[in-house]
Amino acid sequence: MPDTTRQVLVKKYTLTEAEITEISQLIDICNTHDGLRMRIGLEMLRERRGGEVNDFLYYVDGQLVGYLEADSWGKKEKELTGMVHPDFRRQGIFTALFTAASEELQQRGAQKMIFVCELKSESGRAFLATTGAKLAYAEHEMWLGTFHERGRRTEGLSMRQANAGDIEAIVSLLATDNGNFDSVREWVTELMGKPDKYRLFLATLHGQPLGTVRLDFMEEMTGIYAFEVRLGYRGLGYGREMLEQLIHIARAERQKPIMLDVETDNTNAVGLYLSCGFEIKTTYDYYERRWLKMRWLELTVETHPEAIESVSELLSSYTPGGVAIEEPIELIDEGQEYRVLAGHPVKVHAYLPVDGTEEALRQRVAEGLWHLASLGSHFVGDLQTRIVNEEDWANAWKDYYHVTHIGKRLVIRPSWREYTPQQDEVTLELDPGMAFGTGLHPTTRMCLEQVEQRTRPGMRVLDVGTGSGILALAAAKLGAASVYCIDN
């Protein structure tokens, strides 16, 4: 680029209509060139309040060639999306935008940036690899094709547009999983004041709040967001009824395509949407970069083996990474092997980020445990907690996973454990993560024993409700000719 080229990076509190037009044109150029669908809502840009810088524009000789935007929601974490004109890439432009945004957000006290990058964007993923950002999760963008309606209607279930008197009910539903009631209340109240663009709905069952969902009326489509069913009522078909009613409402309102987003590992929700006629159009990866090292609150509950699944389900409802299960063991063979002490209490561990919401979530977990213990069928101990630093948290849960022998031949080995299989042993090498099935749940162990006993070489196996897939993996390793797995 000649030295006479004039390059300017502009930080903006609000955008003019001319600047939004320039951004729209740049989006079209990048989308066409890369075959992408850039996730930047022009209506959102028009609604900037002007209290803080969230838009970063890069000009070369008066032409907009680079743009990066941060969303307007939240203070501790910000989602960012950006692009550079294909003819101006590899010239440090996006690095300049990224650096300016990082400095601005860090000065405002943000703790984390979340970069949205379409899975198909090779240039985006290549850049993020240089920033130290880590892939946190991914979402499918799904659009409704042919609507497959079942038409089930539960007596006492109704859904209506929410009003100001429903704010607390909606907040209680949306904040259950993250405990951040104040920020959710502020957000819901703001959306409630813009019924022409956002419409919230409240579902009730016999007059009690059951779930909530929101319609976003965008220029080219209608979006379904903030879909939540009350804890304890999930998986019972109520979500599908709500979704079917909402589709009818959306179509009656306007004849625009209907879309939604869903995390790729939320297999139950993905299955629901597919069965209703939604189709996956593209997938977006979300990369996180933190400035401050996180601390985590470790939650530990000692319980009877028969209560593991109930306790695990409760903890998983409030913690982002699932649970780890620590069975009581006795080391044998000079520490080279171990024996599970059957019938002894088991510890279930989970982790909450220390971000100001952990105390409310801890209290909810403690209340849930009290209710489980009050049933009296099996021992459920009190909730124990301790603070774990991020560098320790990354590996702390791995301490609870050991090489596990199941049945006569099956051996489950976490990838970080060394093990030399004996003759005829079948080893499943897994890198489970905290939420993966480990073979330690009593029901999973029993099922694995049955798979070992019943699988014969050459068999065809169907695994209905496969979940983590551990049973299917076992069948394949035991000689099944084909294994078909399904889940919803």
Closest CA to 472 of 462, 487, 458, 481: 462
Q: Are residues 31 and 127 in the same domain?
A: yes
Q: Are residues 269 and 362 in the same domain?
A: no
Phi first, then psi: give them for residue 39, nearest 5 degrees: -95, 75
Expressed as residue numbers, the domain containing 185 is 147-276
Q: Are residues 129 and 204 in the same domain?
A: no
2 lies in some domain: no
Q: How many CB atoms lie within 10 A of CB 262?
A: 21
0.85 exceeded by the pTM?
A: no
Q: What count of Cα atoms within 13 Å lies in the side-chain half-sphere of residue 17?
A: 0
pLDDT greater than 90 at residue 413:
no
Of 34-38, 95-99, 201-205, 444-448, the poorest mean pLDDT is in 444-448
Closest CA to 246 of 161, 363, 139: 161
Predicted local confidence at residue 434, as pLDDT: 44
348-373 pLDDT, tens digit per residue, is 888 888 777 888 889 999 999 998 88
26-84 pLDDT, tens digit per residue, is 999 999 999 999 888 888 888 888 888 999 999 999 999 999 999 866 667 889 999 99
Q: Are residues 154 and 267 in the same domain?
A: yes
pLDDT grade for 435, boundaries at 50, 70 and 90: very low
59 lies in some domain: yes
For the chain, give the mean pLDDT.
86
Tell me the one-letter amino acid at 374.
Answer: S
Tell me the DSSP string of 141-176.
Answer: EEEE-S--------TTEEEEE--GGGHHHHHHHHTT
Q: Are residues 258 and 158 in the same domain?
A: yes
Q: Percentage of residues in the chain with pLDDT exceeding 70?
A: 89
340 or 189, which is more confident: 189
Given 81, 109, 135, the domain boundary residue is 135
290-341 pLDDT, tens digit per residue, is 765 667 888 999 999 888 888 988 888 888 666 778 877 776 665 556 677 7
Given 242, 276, 310, the domain boundary residue is 276
416 lies in some domain: yes
pLDDT grade for 2, boundaries at 50, 70 and 90: very low
Q: Are residues 249 and 309 in the same domain?
A: no
281 lies in some domain: no
Q: Are residues 308 and 377 in the same domain?
A: yes
How many domains does the chain divide into? 4
Closest CA to 243 of 147, 177, 172: 147
Q: Cα separation of 196 and 222, whole Å?
A: 12
Compute, in degrees rounded to 10, the torsion defined by CA atoms 244, 173, 297, 397: -20
Q: Are residues 97 and 213 in the same domain?
A: no
Sign of the CA dihedral running 275, 277, 282, 285: negative
CATH number at residue 224: 3.40.630.30
CATH number at residue 376: 3.30.70.120
Predicted local confidence at residue 300, as pLDDT: 93
Q: Are residues 103 and 62 in the same domain?
A: yes
244-286 pLDDT, tens digit per residue, is 999 999 999 999 999 999 999 988 899 999 999 999 999 999 9
385 lies in some domain: yes
Report residue 20 as tokens. Answer: 């939004």
Tell me the DSSP string of 246-266.
Answer: HHHHHHHH----EEEEEETT-
pLDDT grade for 461, boundaries at 50, 70 and 90: very high
Q: Are residues 317 and 394 in the same domain?
A: yes
333 or 411, which is more confident: 411
230 lies in some domain: yes
Predicted local confidence at residue 396, as pLDDT: 62
346: helix, strand or coil: strand
Q: Are residues 43 and 124 in the same domain?
A: yes
pLDDT greater than 50 at residue 438:
no
90 lies in some domain: yes
Predicted local confidence at residue 165, as pLDDT: 93
Sign of the CA dihedral running 397, 399, 403, 405: negative
pLDDT grade for 1, boundaries at 50, 70 and 90: very low
Q: Are residues 413 and 392 in the same domain?
A: no
pLDDT greater than 60 at residue 3:
no
1 lies in some domain: no
When computed from its CA atoms, the radius of gyration of the chain, rounded to whole angstroms, is 25
Given 135, 170, 187, the domain boundary residue is 135
Q: Cα separation of 473 and 471, whole Å?
A: 5
CATH number at residue 416: 3.40.50.150
Report how far apart the first and last C-alpha atoms of the chain are (Å, whole number). Answer: 54
